[in-house]
Chain A
């Protein structure tokens, strides 16, 4: 019983806190701050508790743990029920989301105006994100994502920074709304594939049904491209990535941390959990396409990132470039590759939150993120400087950080697919060299070299401000040294998904993949 409530509490606490904050008088800014930080801290503890108890928890028939239902939500006649549960695929994402949410709340001290609205939106976003990842009902999966998405737009529009803030707001709103609605149409079409009296949005039931009955090829040809395009836009798949860098560059730190770190993974999670296993035939014929688009992320966006003069835009572009690795892992569609993709999803969540949080701190100290004006900051901001170097190292894929584990796994997985070898070689090159070039350039430009006279009064983070960065770095390192904590949980689920997606080998390449995976 306790574990049932743990899961529900993780997403419900922030939402309830948002409602409570709505009734707090607006001049009590301290209450807002303390409330948001306190609630996300409890959420984080609950997330860690859930992760800790995961291995021992009881499993239901569908492989989900901590299954719980909110009975009064949903509509029975349509097969909508508000159900939650975690398995190996989303347990790490929920944990990562809860940790990043706490870090984001800690980094929100930079917000000085309209604190009430900001913290209400931040908590709504947190609750929405976590709810979306935990939901085992397709309707609420979408519902919670949308609930988290709208606060993103408002936060960028109101508390955003930079001259192009308004443009960035409109661009991200329109792009992501189109992506979300395309995905919605795909999800509804998926739901309509079931016979009338068996229709449900319950993901385990759908999984079972689509394992036994494959969707007609013509329907798959409609649904999979819709989902790929919709989810792809949400994850900034090249060439639908142009909203991301500017959007994150204009967003307040907390929003960029939560969106780039956590919310964006919704699209990838949807692809892995829903689109690929439910539409296996068409998915397999699209794998090459996904792989080449992923290469677009790695190489093209990586190249764009090298050219950036603004630190935040550089980080935003690098975050888009990292998505390419995940897509490559998905495109390999074997146990190793998909597991690696999930690991990068988690690793990138911590990393994106860390980098955006750090750049937000620098921005608040200096008022600019133009790299030509920065320089030598490590002399003044010692802790921030060290943290930033570590983030850059993690971004380059240095062993010891979780990112290395994920990227290496993805490359091993992708190498096993002969059809993807060209892409893999190019992607390795891009990830290791281009990634290192722009990351180290950023470190050099911002932190090293002579310090400008303007910055003599900068102050390093105090203990309280160090906390979020420390937590994120520790998370990256702990999982980086003990990747089995995550991979052992992910593997059974990815195995199931890969089996479902490759049960009917449509191309020789994928059948070979299965054999190779089994022989391991």
Chain B
């Protein structure tokens, strides 16, 4: 077994354990530093993936083919490392609202990260299931961390029940697939899956696995948990759930659909089109009446899962690259929004949109950041969201000649974008155009929190204006995934 391929995962797990151990000797007042140190360590690992020797730059499989390392997993590992580092800083900002066990909160984030890293490399059903469980179970705990709040508990219970249900579906599906084909490994399964394209049991198995993954990415009709959990969970958890957990769902979905069962996927374009279209409409329509900002972001994250599915449904390399690009933009945009929530709304019991009133006086930087994040989510130039949506639409319209359903899908996405303008601008309105609140105290921020905000802002503009580099990374990654034959 070639452990060097896993060195990144191992170092992340070790980091998590070190954080746990360090907690034993660390005096309480220094624990804030522990979070920063962990974030810095992850940041170093992230930088190292570009400049140094990192296992995520090599190619190969290990652990009997369970664990694969290629450009595709490398792309997602960078994504997860960056997301976790930024979320850890948010967690430190948030730590004064956590009653006990702050270090455990940090280390759980790191363990969830480990799960995501393994998910990026999962090449068989064991690894897929184990990594998903590692992510999901840590998130059960992360969700109820502010256990004094009823909403947090409610969110945790909801996530637990629905998460367990979807895990059950998934394991059942895996059992069916294994029972019919006898294969666990994705590459081996790919070799035989075309023989089973008519086998009902096998197809049911595949469908059940998709149910489990649909739960992770919050696609319709497995989206019920999202708004409640986003609203109730501590803000850093919700941020990590929105970015990391969703991306983990997509990395598994892409690898499962396009590596393990390409011959089945090629016939399921209609299913993907319908799921994508309904997810977009559901997310956007339900977001309209929301008054709680985190809940609104929950619904908007459903809508974005729908947009991302556009790229999956296109069944082309361009579509997959668009998914990767969009996720990159989504990371900066969503984390920026949640960072503002964590910092600016700390004095409020609930994250009501009305609480944003006067934000532009209390902190122009935060107000501008949230505005830019909303504009990027709405997909308006010159921000990351626009270029991502452009790529997704392009990928879908490109397929329109083969199946006119793609044109309908493109128009559905268009309708979704128009609807979303309404509620995103509602947030902007609340920031700038509510009644003046001259006596509100200015908001102070720690330096690392400011750094997170600046990184997110830079990322949104960079991906919107200078897409070349990221595009190359994304196309290399999808090239590794291999195009499916149509």
Q: Interface residues of A, CB < 8 Å — how many?
A: 35
Question: Does A433 reach chain B (CB closer than 8 Å)?
Answer: no
Question: Does A188 reach chain B (CB closer than 8 Å)?
Answer: yes
Inter-subunit contact B418/A191 (CB<8 Å):
no
B484 nearest CB across to chain A (Å): 17
* CB within 8 Å of A: which B401-439 residues: 407, 410-411, 414, 417-418, 421-422, 425, 428-429, 432-433
Please encode chain A, from 471 to 497, with 1 for each CB lying within 8 Å of some chain B CB and 0 for all others. 000000000000000000000000000
Residue A157 contacts which of B368, B382, B429, B472 (CB distance < 8 angstroms)? B429
Pick out which of these stretches binds chain A: B42-50, B137-145, B251-259, B460-468.
Answer: B460-468
Contacts of A147 in B (CB 8 A): 380-382
Question: Does B133 reach chain A (CB closer than 8 Å)?
Answer: no
Pick out which of these stretches binds chain B: A174-182, A260-268, A416-424, A503-511.
Answer: A174-182
Inter-subunit contact B432/A158 (CB<8 Å):
yes
- With A75-B467, A143-B381, A174-B421 already in contact, 9 other A-B pairs whose C-beta atoms are closer than 8 Å: A77-B468, A78-B471, A117-B432, A143-B386, A146-B386, A153-B425, A154-B425, A174-B418, A181-B414
Inter-subunit contact A184/B393 (CB<8 Å):
yes
Question: Does B132 reach chain A (CB closer than 8 Å)?
Answer: no
Contacts of A150 in B (CB 8 A): 375, 380
A22 nearest CB across to chain B (Å): 7
Inter-subunit contact B414/A185 (CB<8 Å):
yes
Contacts of B421 in A (CB 8 A): 173-174, 177
B120 nearest CB across to chain A (Å): 24
Question: Does B394 reach chain A (CB closer than 8 Å)?
Answer: yes
Main secondary structure of the interface of B (DSSP, over half): helix
Q: Interface residues of B, CB < 8 Å — how many?
A: 32
A61 nearest CB across to chain B (Å): 25
30 contacts across the A-B interface (CB closer than 8 A)? A22-B368, A73-B466, A74-B468, A75-B467, A75-B468, A76-B468, A77-B468, A77-B472, A77-B475, A78-B467, A139-B390, A143-B382, A146-B380, A147-B381, A147-B382, A150-B380, A157-B425, A157-B433, A177-B417, A181-B414, A181-B417, A182-B414, A185-B397, A185-B410, A185-B414, A188-B390, A188-B397, A191-B394, A192-B397, A222-B407
B314 nearest CB across to chain A (Å): 12
Question: Does A189 reach chain B (CB closer than 8 Å)?
Answer: yes
* CB within 8 Å of A: which B436-486 residues: 465-468, 471-472, 475
**Complex CA–CA separation, A157 to B424 (angstroms):** 14
Query: Closest chain B residue to A174 by CB distance?
Result: B418
**Complex CA–CA separation, A184 to B411 (angstroms):** 11
Contacts of A80 in B (CB 8 A): 467
Contacts of B471 in A (CB 8 A): 75, 77-78
* CB within 8 Å of B: which A139-187 residues: 139, 143-144, 146-147, 150, 153-154, 157-158, 170, 173-174, 177-178, 181-182, 184-185
Contacts of B397 in A (CB 8 A): 185, 188-189, 192
Question: Does B188 reach chain A (CB closer than 8 Å)?
Answer: no
Which of B394, B428, B429, B466 has the most C-beta atoms of chain A within 10 angstroms of its own C-beta?
B394
Question: Does B65 reach chain A (CB closer than 8 Å)?
Answer: no
Query: Closest chain B residue to A189 by CB distance?
Result: B397
Query: Closest chain B residue to A143 by CB distance?
Result: B381
Contacts of B154 in A (CB 8 A): none
B473 nearest CB across to chain A (Å): 11
**Complex CA–CA separation, A174 to B428 (angstroms):** 17
Question: Does B400 reach chain A (CB closer than 8 Å)?
Answer: yes
Query: Closest chain A residue to B469 by CB distance?
Result: A75
Question: Does A72 reach chain B (CB closer than 8 Å)?
Answer: yes
